[in-house]
Chains A and B, each alone.
Chain A
């Protein structure tokens, strides 16, 4: 057994991982979720807003991280649209506007057909410059955004009337896959202007790096697909009653993706234990220095 495990081709491990993720997806395996404090804090920040309040939805991600961040984006849009908030979408990533369009098509156009583009929500599109964009729009949004993503002058967009800068937003929701993202929003928006409220949903890789900002600079944080699943539960428990059952799974994608997570994590734990056993057995036999 020791010899077999010592010389095991790593491609068998890849195959095991593929099966560990594929089988739960095929059988739509799910497990119950219990929201943690950080997900509750994100939910509470949005709950504290009143209908008509302005929310900047900064979608700083691309298709590469859609698996982790897409469910959060869907849940954020659903939650904000249900509460009747005004949604201002923008992105610091070139493919971000497509992510916004997907979100609008999947949530607003299907479940909130009464909401009007330009009155209830707007897609301001992408601007290059990373943190420099934040630095400008924090005091003068019209200096950079002359049109929305479709080319309509922002002077002709009703919900942009009177908006001079993003300090006028009641909340900023950022979904971040890396640079530029939540760190830049914290450093260039929240830190110099502490009245700005920011909550974020981020990839797993970034989450530990953002914990030091909690709770002063970042009141709420959804970390990876686990954070998405917890937030989905809070939103669906509060507002999911009206959604027809055949459409409900659209808002539970984070929960659906936690099934493969659990099985894959169990596999990784088993592999780590087995690898350590092989290592220490080799050490005892004098084969490993």
Chain B
């Protein structure tokens, strides 16, 4: 047996044993409880399920063992298990590439794409297109709370949308998709050009024009003045580094060198922040595994009395 196979087998056996022990002894693990809440919108009503803590379930059951105000949710519990096992499957890539990782990765990509499509349909196409063109039908079929009048101007986005889908059709009609694409590109170019020019160029120039000597209540403020000098100096040196019309020699070369230092410090700050972000992501996954799945910790005191 290869070393890698032994490692994997040992991990699976020990992990499985631990999970069986954890799930079958004491308070158990990974159980999700919900409170059924009746909801009414217009003439339609249904039951929502709000999350309840295991502690609330324990209190309610102790008071009345037959209560149904807070119940175990099988599907949400199943969801916690799926999320935990997928987290471990993705982490397994750090040891080496493997089938479990590939399965988890493919499912995540597939589910994300499908989710975007469904959300786009229900949050945009139904209320903002169909709801404007055929409001009565949408009200009867999907959105009982809708109170809009028909606006036939929305036929234009409908036609553009259909033309965009022509790309999937035969060659004789596929070129139709270029017209809506040209429209979108034109609109977004115009929007971004003006706003980026205004916000990122003109306003940044204005933001860099600051007083180098700060006087606060009649006295010289050394630290604020130093900050202004560093700000203006850093901007000028950074710009000089990207000024390639002159050879970087003499005063220009020395200023450009300071500009490189400014850029390096900026990249360092960016790297530090990125590391912090990535560690936070790891921390939340481990928190999820230890808290929501294994019930090893309880930082938010959700299981008091369990």
User: Of the candidates A95, A127, A153, A203, which one forms a contact with B277 in the assembled complex, judged by CB atoms under 8 Å apart?
Assistant: A203
CB contact under 8 A between A126 and B280, given known A152-B41, A191-B195: no
Given contacts A153-B145, A187-B195, contact A216 B127 (CB under 8 A): no
Task: Choose one: A66, A131, A205, A260; the contact of B273 (CB below 8 Å).
Answer: A205
29 cross-chain CB contacts under 8 A: A17-B282, A18-B282, A21-B283, A66-B284, A94-B119, A94-B120, A95-B119, A126-B123, A128-B124, A131-B192, A146-B127, A147-B131, A147-B143, A151-B142, A152-B145, A192-B195, A204-B272, A204-B277, A208-B273, A212-B207, A217-B199, A224-B276, A225-B276, A226-B276, A253-B299, A261-B276, A261-B279, A265-B275, A265-B276
- Residues facing A in B113-159 (CB within 8 A) are 115-116, 119-120, 123-124, 127-128, 131-132, 142-148
Which residue of B51, B124, B299 contacts A127 across the interface (Cβ within 8 Å)? B124
Q: B206 near A: Cβ within 8 Å?
A: yes
Q: Is the CB of B195 within 8 A of A188?
A: yes
14 new A-B contacts, CB < 8 A, other than A190-B199, A205-B270, A264-B282, are: A18-B282, A21-B283, A67-B280, A67-B287, A94-B123, A95-B115, A135-B191, A147-B143, A187-B195, A191-B199, A207-B273, A208-B266, A224-B277, A253-B299
In contact, B207 and A25 (Cβ under 8 angstroms): no
A-B contact count (CB 8 A): 176
Evaluate contact between B123 and A127: CB separation under 8 angstroms.
yes
Q: CB within 8 Å of B: which residues of A?
A: 11, 14, 17-18, 21-22, 25-26, 28, 64-68, 70, 94-95, 105, 109, 125-129, 131-132, 135, 144, 146-147, 150-153, 155-156, 186-188, 190-192, 203-205, 207-209, 212-213, 216-217, 223-226, 246-247, 249-250, 253, 256-257, 260-261, 264-265, 268
List the 7 closest pairs (A to B, CB-CB), nearest first: A67-B284, A204-B277, A204-B273, A191-B199, A187-B199, A153-B147, A152-B145
B226 cross-chain contacts in A, Cβ below 8 A: none
Expressed in whole angstroms, the Cα–Cα distance for A190 and B131 within the complex equals 31
Q: A147 contacts which of B145, B188, B192, B207 (Cβ < 8 Å)? A: B145
**Are B119 and A268 within 8 A (Cβ)?**
no
Q: Is B297 an interface residue (CB 8 A)?
A: yes
Q: How far is the CB of B253 from chain A (nearest CB, A)?
A: 26
Cross-chain contact A208 with B270 (CB below 8 angstroms) = yes
Assess the B300–A250 pair: CB atoms within 8 A: yes
B69, chain A: closest CB distance, angstroms: 15
Q: Which residues on B sit within 8 Å (CB–CB) of A187?
A: 195-196, 198-200
Question: Residues of B contacting A127 with CB < 8 Å?
Answer: 123-124, 128
A66 and B283 CA atoms in complex are apart in Å by 11
Asked whether B143 lies within 8 Å of A151 as measured between CB atoms, the reply is yes
Q: When A14-B94, A94-B115, A224-B273 are in contact, do A64 and B203 touch as well, CB less than 8 Å?
A: no
Kindly state whether residue B165 has any CB partner on chain A within 8 Å. Answer: no
CB-CB under 8 A from A207, the residues of chain B are 273
Task: Assess the B116–A94 pair: CB atoms within 8 A.
Answer: yes
Interface size class of B (residues with CB under 8 A): 35 or more
- Residues of B189-237 contacting chain A, CB below 8 A: 191-192, 195-196, 198-200, 203-204, 206-207
**A264–B286 CA distance with the chains assembled, in angstroms:** 14
Q: Return A164 CB to nearest CB of chain B, in Å.
A: 16
Smallest CB gap from B304: residue in A = A246
Contact (Cβ within 8 A) B277 A147: no
A261 and B280 contact, Cβ closer than 8 Å, known pairs A128-B124, A151-B146: yes
Known: A11-B95, A257-B280. A144 touches B198 (CB 8 A): no
Residues of B within 8 A of A156 (CB): 145, 147
Closest to A246 in B: B301
Q: How far is the CB of A107 from chain B (nearest CB, A)?
A: 12
CA separation between A127 and B95, bound complex, in Å?
40
Closest to A244 in B: B301
In angstroms, Cα B39 to Cα A212, docked, is 46
CA distance A146 to B148 in the complex (A): 7
**Are B207 and A216 touching (Cβ within 8 A)?**
yes
Q: Is B296 an interface residue (CB 8 A)?
A: yes
Any chain A CB within 8 A of the CB of B43? no
Residues of B within 8 A of A246 (CB): 301, 304
Contacts of A152 in B (CB 8 A): 41-42, 145
